[in-house]
Structure 1
Amino acid sequence: MSEIVNNLLAKLAGLLGDECQKLKGVERHVRFLEDELSTMKAFLDELGLRDELDPLTKNWRDHVRDMAYDMEDCLDDFLVNLGSASDNAGFIDRTTELVNILWARHQFTSQIQELKDRAIEANHRRKRYKLDDSSSSSSALVPVDPRVSALYREAASLVGIDGPRDEIVRWLADSEEKLKVVSIVGFGGLGKTTLAKQVYDKIGEQFNFKAFVPVSQRPDMAALLIGLESKLKGTEICRTRKVHDIINDLREHLTDKRYFIVVDDLWDRPTWDIISCAFPDNGNGSRIIVTTRVEDVARLACRNHQECVYKIKPLNVQDSKRLFFSRVVAPEDVNPSQYEEGSTEILKRCGGLPLAIITIAGILASRPGILRRDWETIRSYLGVQSATDLTMEGMRRILNLSYMHLPAHLRVCSLHLGMHPEDHEIMRDDLVRQWIAESLVRGLPGQDLEDIGRSYFNELINRSLIQPEETFAGDVVSCRVHDMIRDVIISKCEEENFMSMVYNSEDIARLRKCKLKVRRLFMSSSCFGATNGAISRTTATSLSKVRSIVSFGKRKCLFSRYLRVLFIETQGPTVVNLSDISRLFHLRYLKVIARSISLPSELKGLVHLETLELDSHALMSDSIPADVVQLPRLSHLAAPGHRLPSGIGNLELLRTLNGFQLTDCSSEDIKGLGELTNLQELWFIIEDTIEIDDAFVSSIEKLRQLRHLRLSHEWCLDNDSLSSISNPPLLIETLVLKGIVSFRTPKWIGDLHYLRHLQLSVRETSTDDIRLLGELRFLVELKFILLRVAANGAFIIRTGLFPALEYFYSRFTERHDKLQSAQGHVMSNLRFEVGTMPKLQRLELELEEEHWGGATPVGMEHLLALQQIKVSFDHRYPSWYGPPVAIIELTRRAESAHRDALQAHPNRHSIRIN
């Protein structure tokens, strides 16, 4: 709440500085408002530290919040109407500008007087009702606590889950050929999804087809089934079909397949009645897991196997302690026993629920030093809850406590998580850029707001408000919100009128009747259809002040002149019409994922736009409007598969340039790339070898701030031009050369001392090349494709090399004839010496089906941190068809061969081989 006032104070300060000359006659009123708001902010900060507010204080807080929003809207209107004629404008233009300024000042004076009266009344009310009787934000950058990832692994793999996992595996692994359904049932937060995911990971590779499908409380059945079909077929599916047509296609596809499906978070019978129609009982030993909170639903799903309902139990005392202390106690803490007394009562109140334990641990771990009063505060807040009776209300109190302990800047950012659908993977960069667009991220002069925003993201992970989903090169790049935590966030959003959600026509009707102004709007795909007219009738009133819209569906866009964030994701061939987008003066973030997008001929009105991402198969105008290169604040530009705009070098603030084709680019545009001196991320799609020439190499060398470079070709393109780079950008952390084949490893890669992820394809390699890569001390992930192995050359990973590597993918695609006859297969040439790759956890090997003779890498027992080996074959069949029987048998042989090769490994029994 106080962050909203903070933003307004910053805007007022800027107005009094930059636009002071245009404030004649109202400057005194603006300064008065600044003083009044500063006083209110101090009191709001104090309110933020209270767990509960009485109704009178809540009412005052809500009044101040709405007043702050209205003040900011007033200032925005004033700035839009000021006008800005150029220095060489003629008499008529200058006269018109003067009239506009006088009119704007007149309007502003009237509005500011009204707001001044409201501010005076608000302060009088605070004093009249004696509301005063009833943690500060930090800009220090926060990394992800390394214990957090370990914590989720602990929750998933170590703490009390082995027994349940193995029991369910036994149920699924019997010899019965009929379709079998197993249900996992239990209270929210007990770890049903975690348990199902462990089973899925353990046995999933035994099936031709597998999919993990989250359902959610309000599923869009068509979208859910299309998502399932896409996962099973491994390709994008046409999205404009009716539910019964999708079910028929799924049944036909699975008729002769052995499949394994996890249906996660099923809430009711009607949903199961529809989903289950897609799963034929074909006598091939297929298996399904259903997780649910409702026992009747669990029994319904496995009605033919009533003995296969697994009731998940809370963690016992010892497992609860292990999970709790893995987060609270730092590895360097020499006296963890000091926490025993305080933790016992708290763990009793958590009732063995992993989510509750992780949440409370996250609160305590966020404090620099855990004091006795911290334990006492939490104990008294939770009340006297017995270990066997943690009710839904008790769980909500725990989650609410986690929210209440957030500093103000994180509270408002956590509320923004509610703008994303249930069970939705949220990309970190999308979230951070939306926060910045709404001025929710603040820093000191000279600080990078995106770095601070990522720090906020990391802190929410550390406090267990969000769960890490996907990592890349050691960084968490996406997250999910547990549905119970999301429920708390949604309730807070409603309480503070932070956002409104539309799922159906009833929600539309509620918006029309609501007296509060809607500031942010989330529209689910389930609300689209008959509600279109209702939304239109609502626009003029309650939606006129909307600042952010997140929409999943095919509705015509609703634009408010105050809009800052617009995110649209649609399914099917519907065209997303953005023809009026240019008039959104305040728009800062625009991302659209759709089959087709219609853009205006010009974008010049979007003077504040910072992010423009268009993920589409077709732009109706065939390209992005040419004047995109004139947008003064554009920092992120992405349009995968489309041609690079001419004049790209004009975008001096650009930090991200992703997905464009180099086809038909002029030499001037290639040269212009080198002028993007702030560029940090660059991804190009390459179609021809001539596109990577000396001019391109020269431009790359000029990008001294570049962190991520990705060049991708669909197949395999021989091009050694990149080897000629002599002065590479030394800050590169990610280098992906997908399908771009060099003759040897470029020597300049050895100069990239910050490199964390590398994907590289070469014709030949040598011991020196391997050493060059192995001495990159921050390299976490390596994908290495070798197209030719010399007859006398072994691929040996020497002692001490690759000290930080956690993931290694290796593929050898051609053999030398002498090598083939002498040693059976080139994979036996991959050798690991003692003391190499000390942190390697995942090893992925791709083999050639027609030549593999049972060979395995040598020395895998020296990879002491190894947790998983994945073996696959470079086959020649479509992904939707599935592997033939011969490949399935070959895969089983490969698993057995690698299991035998690990007999000398000290952890051989715990290593997963897929």
Structure 2
Amino acid sequence: MNIGRLGLKGYGGARGWSGTIKSTTFPRERKEKMAEGPVTFLLNKLSNFLEYEICHFRNIQEEIIYVRDELARVKAFLKIADSLEESDEQVKVWVEQIRDLTFNIEDILDEFMLLSIQDHGHVLQAMLCKLRNMKARYRVIHELKQVNSRIKSICEGHKRFRPKLRRVGQHSRADDSDNHWYDHRSDALLLDKSDLVGIEESKRILMEHLVDGLLEREVISVVGMGGLGKTTLVKQVYDDPAVKKHFHIRVWLTFSTSCKLVELLKDMLQQIACQIRKPAPQRVDTSNKEWLKMMIKGFLLNKRYLIVLDDVWNVIEWEAIKYAFPNDGCGSRVMLTTRNADVASASQADFGGKIHESKPLNDEESWKLFCRKTFSETNLCPPSLEETCKSILKKCEGLPLPIVAISGVLASKDTQRVDEWDLVRRSLRAEIDGNDRLKKINKVLALSFNELPYYLKCCFLHLSVFPEGYGIERMRLIRLWVAEGFVEAKEGRTLEEAADYYLKEILNRSLLQVTEWTADRRVKVCRIHHLLQQIAIKKSKEQSFAARVDEQNSSWPDKVRRLSVHTKFQSSQQNMSLSQLRSLYMSGAEKSSLKAALLHVGKLLTVLDLQAVPNLGKFPMQVLEMYSLRYLSLRYTEVKTVPSSIGKLQNLETLDLKYTYVTVLPREIMELRRLRQLLVYRYETISYLHSKYGFRTPADIGSLQSLQKLCYWEADDERSCIIMRDIGKMLHLRRLCILKLKKEDGTTLCSSISRLTNLVALSVTSLDEDEEVLDLQNLSSPPPLLQRIYLKGRLLEMPHWIPTHENIVTLHLRLCCLKDDPLISLQNLPNLVHLELEKVYDWKVLHFKAKGFKKLQKLGLDNYVGLRGIEVEGGAMPSLVQLIIQRCKVLRNVPVGIEYLTTLKLLEFFDVHDELVMKLEHDDQSQDYQRVAHIPELRYGSWTDGGWDVKSVDRTGDEAGSSHGTNGRNRGELPPCWK
């Protein structure tokens, strides 16, 4: 359940607060610092180099070992230097020198290994390459020896402040032994109700959980990103008279710096003792944590207590304190605020209770708070400033903290000087960095970044390369993180699975928000809050991690590693060095900018993302000389062909040609033995027709044994049977998508699929969707991990293995024309969440039986020209959330029994009988209208003039909207059944 949104008039420390609220701290596990990340990565690379490559060049073994040993010693000091980097300019310069040095060494090693790769091949070719590369080899060896001199110089230079680092290090180690807690931010200010916006519903829900809940002890967690006002909301609840009256004991603990766990427990014991009017014990050793927890538990026993744990960062903190809270059936509660969803889940698992997700303010609430704080005399924005103010407010994205902080700065400006207000709008990023009154925004939001381990910091900083406000596909992120080298191999996990775990960690820490889910609750698209992305951009620039070219920043440093271009290159930029560049992102940049960039990119580039570069009709030939390339995306471009020289890119792992016009891949594609992701397909929609186009290849794709995703191969050529057998060799395949399957190849395909034990998703379309039979009966043992199945084409009967495969989560069946009702066999699938059925059976009346489809959440029914009625028994589909019915021209009534679907949130009708639409539109008294009265949102419409004319009724406000409203589907967009 989501709590409501709140606004706050002030936000900051607990200055002025009184009562039982005190600031305390908690121990946190030590995180590897960002300064260590490049060094750690390089040390691993050096170790691998010494193990596998050095045998070819014994004469540089001594230099490599020296570099490795010196960097290992430096790494020990980087743990300490990281904490001084912000406050000590000398240390900051030293850390920058180390970072720059590690990049240089990495370049040397990669160039050396690239030369070694070029030496392999046919005998004559290898000899020619060795002769040609000999000079380059000696240059690389010379550069490596020069690096040793630089290391000596840097290490000599840092001896001047080494005593300072040692003192800090000793202090840190003492803190570690005493279980110090990390510092983060001060408490929220004590606010009056008149200072808040949008808090009423949130407070009501929390009050209800506190006062009216069970007698068992429970925990109530308020979760959300920094700046949402979680603490302010909980403080309003904590101070409510009804709460004060209900609980015998109330304690507030805030997790901040400078105190140990023992001090936290002492503080809690003292607060409790004061309220129950008993002296806290003095004679026993109060440095014993277990004894303190035992005393606290004794004092709380048989009393109804409320303990607030404000800003808990990780599960370790919760684990360390939870045993002090007894469960004695008095209705006691623990409330906690956190940015980490894992903390909320862990506490709920231990104590039971509720998790509330704190949400940003909506547009109306944001504007109300902004005007109240900016124009305090009238609470009204002058018309001349309204457009500028709304543009500034949009950057805050509903976060109360920045709204209040920015309002405070604007409140002092002359409302007649429109130019001053517009300057803030245009330079908000610089304004936040330079204005002391706004720095607290960065301070609060940056805390979540500072708490990350170094491997997640890389992933977070990487978010700086995307355009602002951009929806980022989950799988794109995962592939990029793997290609960038951010992901560490874990036993029992693929790199992609490890990257997915990283993404979940970042989401759980509220540093990303999910904007789109799949029907089976997998993350599909996410985005980063504007202000969090500004932090990523700023820190990326400071740490030489990445640079971006956009409207606000038109230059980059000389030694940039990652470059993201979102605008056209200026002529002065075209001569800037890109020799050390490893990743280039050209999201939507001009074709001329791409040409200018590719002229200066070196051969060590590993990531080239050209997604949506306009007017790019030809494969960029410069790419074929980038032998280190691991990731290449031409998605959403107009590229039509792939050259045979693609085989030179031996390190390529991802080739993304989705939504291009490529239909044939050359034979040389089979030479890409490291290829993990091959995406070559597009969709086209004309009126009702929705078509997919894949690719053909003369290659024996069975050679691509590292492949995990193959989408979409067109299987209608003369070699299809051979390739079908080859698929069985791709043991790492997780997603397989095939178009134009011939009936005679079905048995061979089934034989291959049975060997793909890692397969998770399978999509198969027959050669002629209306006539060709899809023969998949001979799959004797379906892959155990198979969860998502998409079949399109005639089936003589339901494949016997589908109704018995308990792991199926998503099932799409289209144009199957079955002879028997499939609902009978499918209704008992225990984990089925998403079901789409298009013209699978000639129903006159479609009947859903009681206890069927227990976990189904989304159901789509499409293209049933003879369907006259739908019946739902009580107890059927008890979890259904969304029901879509379309192209059922004779359907005149809503499903009988739809009132039993109490969890239904959205009901959609498209191209059904006009009589049904009329009943839904205005007739509040009709029986059909009353049956759907419990459903929050209705959508209905028809295809007219080349687009969907959609209307939407929001039952929460009972307001109808057109296809252009926020609740309606955009005109021309496909209904969900067809996506």
**Structure 1 partner of 2:649:** 606
Change (3 A) 1:448 1:26: same
Change (3 A) 1:700 1:826: farther
C-alpha distance in structure 2 between counterparts of 1:349 and 1:117, whole Å: 58
Shift in Å at residue 681 of structure 1?
0.6
Look up the equivalent residue of 1:3 and give its one-letter code.
Answer: G
Shift in Å at residue 42 of structure 1?
3.0
**Structure 2 partner of 1:123:** 155
Look up the equivalent residue of 2:158 and give its one-letter code.
Answer: R
SS at match of 1:71: helix
The reply on whether 1:584 has 2:626 as its aligned counterpart is yes
Q: Give the counterpart of 1:564 among 582, 586, 606.
A: 606
**Structure 1 partner of 2:562:** 520
The reply on whether 1:411 has 2:457 as its aligned counterpart is yes
Shift in Å at residue 102 of structure 1?
5.6
| 1:79-98 equivalence runs, <5 A | 79-83=113-117, 89=123, 96=128
Q: Deviations over 1:847-876 (max 9, x none)?
A: 523x122x222222332322222222269x
Shift in Å at residue 691 of structure 1?
7.5
**Structure 1 partner of 2:581:** 546
Look up the equivalent residue of 1:124 and give its one-letter code.
Answer: E
Look up the equivalent residue of 1:779 and give its one-letter code.
Answer: L
Aligned residues: CA RMSD: 4.2
**Structure 2 partner of 1:840:** 880
C-alpha distance in structure 1 between counterparts of 2:918 and 2:201, whole Å: 43
C-alpha distance in structure 2 between counterparts of 1:601 and 1:393, whole Å: 54
C-alpha distance in structure 1 between counterparts of 2:787 and 2:338, whole Å: 43
Q: Deviations over 1:332-381 (max 9, x none)?
A: 993437999xx9997239999xxxxxx99997354343478999999xxx
Shift in Å at residue 407 of structure 1?
1.4
**Structure 1 partner of 2:695:** 643
SS at match of 2:813: strand
C-alpha distance in structure 2 between counterparts of 1:518 and 1:339, whole Å: 40
CA contact (8 A) 2:582 2:607 kept: yes
CA contact (8 A) 2:760 2:786 kept: yes
SS at match of 2:584: strand
The reply on whether 1:804 has 2:855 as its aligned counterpart is yes
| 1:453-472 equivalence runs, <5 A | 453-472=499-518
CA contact (8 A) 1:755 1:779 kept: yes
Look up the equivalent residue of 2:864 and give its one-letter code.
Answer: T
Q: Give the counterpart of 2:808 among 752, 755, 760.
A: 755
Change (3 A) 1:372 1:548: same
CA contact (8 A) 1:733 1:757 kept: yes
Taking structure 2 as the reference length, the TM-score comes to: 0.62
| 1:494-893 equivalence runs, <5 A | 494-503=541-550, 507-508=553-554, 510-511=555-556, 514=557, 516-524=558-566, 526-527=567-568, 531=570, 533-538=571-576, 541=577, 543-551=578-586, 552-553=588-589, 554=591, 555-556=594-595, 558=598, 559-570=601-612, 572-593=614-635, 594-597=637-640, 599-619=642-662, 623-640=664-681, 641-645=693-697, 646-666=699-719, 667-686=721-740, 690=743, 693-712=746-765, 716=770, 719-737=773-791, 739-761=792-814, 762-764=816-818, 769-789=822-842, 794-799=846-851, 801-811=852-862, 813-815=864-866, 826-828=868-870, 830-834=871-875, 836-849=876-889, 851-853=890-892, 855-873=893-911, 889=918, 892=921
C-alpha distance in structure 2 between counterparts of 1:907 and 1:689, whole Å: 43
**Structure 1 partner of 2:67:** 33
Deviates more, 1:599-608 or 1:585-594: 599-608
C-alpha distance in structure 2 between counterparts of 1:98 and 1:21, whole Å: 16
Q: Deviations over 1:719-761 (max 9, x none)?
A: 2412343332232111112x42324432211232221111113
The reply on whether 1:315 has 2:198 as its aligned counterpart is yes
Greater C-alpha Rg:
2
Q: Give the counterpart of 2:104 among 47, 55, 70.
A: 70
CA contact (8 A) 2:834 2:859 kept: yes
**Structure 1 partner of 2:944:** none
Change (3 A) 1:102 1:363: farther
CA contact (8 A) 1:400 1:488 kept: yes
Change (3 A) 1:723 1:376: closer
C-alpha distance in structure 2 between counterparts of 1:333 and 1:520, whole Å: 54
The reply on whether 1:476 has 2:516 as its aligned counterpart is no
Which is richer in helix?
A: 1
Deviates more, 1:604-613 or 1:312-321: 312-321
SS at match of 2:638: strand
CA contact (8 A) 1:83 1:101 kept: no
SS at match of 1:682: strand
**Structure 1 partner of 2:930:** 900
SS at match of 1:126: helix
C-alpha distance in structure 1 between counterparts of 2:497 and 2:207, whole Å: 30
Shift in Å at residue 772 of structure 1?
3.2
Deviates more, 1:117-126 or 1:675-684: 117-126
C-alpha distance in structure 2 between counterparts of 1:704 and 1:345, whole Å: 47
SS at match of 2:807: coil
CA contact (8 A) 1:741 1:760 kept: no
**Structure 1 partner of 2:425:** none
C-alpha distance in structure 2 between counterparts of 1:366 and 1:565, whole Å: 34
The reply on whether 1:334 has 2:221 as its aligned counterpart is no
Q: Deviations over 1:778-814 (max 9, x none)?
A: 22211123444456x7522331x32322211123614
C-alpha distance in structure 1 between counterparts of 2:790 and 2:84, whole Å: 49
SS at match of 1:501: strand
C-alpha distance in structure 1 between counterparts of 2:846 and 2:159, whole Å: 82
C-alpha distance in structure 1 between counterparts of 2:793 and 2:582, whole Å: 43
C-alpha distance in structure 2 between counterparts of 1:897 and 1:345, whole Å: 45
C-alpha distance in structure 2 between counterparts of 1:114 and 1:777, whole Å: 65
Change (3 A) 1:715 1:53: farther
**Structure 1 partner of 2:950:** none
Shift in Å at residue 567 of structure 1?
0.6
**Structure 2 partner of 1:44:** 78
Shift in Å at residue 422 of structure 1?
1.0
**Structure 1 partner of 2:537:** 490
C-alpha distance in structure 2 between counterparts of 1:724 and 1:19, whole Å: 48
C-alpha distance in structure 1 between counterparts of 2:543 and 2:310, whole Å: 24
C-alpha distance in structure 2 between counterparts of 1:633 and 1:333, whole Å: 56
Q: Deviations over 1:459-490 (max 9, x none)?
A: 11111111112212211122111111111111
CA contact (8 A) 1:468 1:479 kept: yes
C-alpha distance in structure 1 between counterparts of 2:321 and 2:83, whole Å: 19
SS at match of 1:468: strand
CA contact (8 A) 2:482 2:499 kept: yes
CA contact (8 A) 1:321 1:347 kept: no
Look up the equivalent residue of 2:788 and give its one-letter code.
Answer: T
C-alpha distance in structure 1 between counterparts of 2:477 and 2:602, whole Å: 21
Change (3 A) 1:455 1:894: farther
Shift in Å at residue 644 of structure 1?
2.5
Change (3 A) 1:574 1:94: closer
Taking structure 1 as the reference length, the TM-score comes to: 0.66
Deviates more, 1:114-123 or 1:492-501: 114-123
Change (3 A) 1:56 1:362: farther
| 1:200-219 equivalence runs, <5 A | none
Change (3 A) 1:689 1:45: same
C-alpha distance in structure 1 between counterparts of 2:881 and 2:716, whole Å: 40
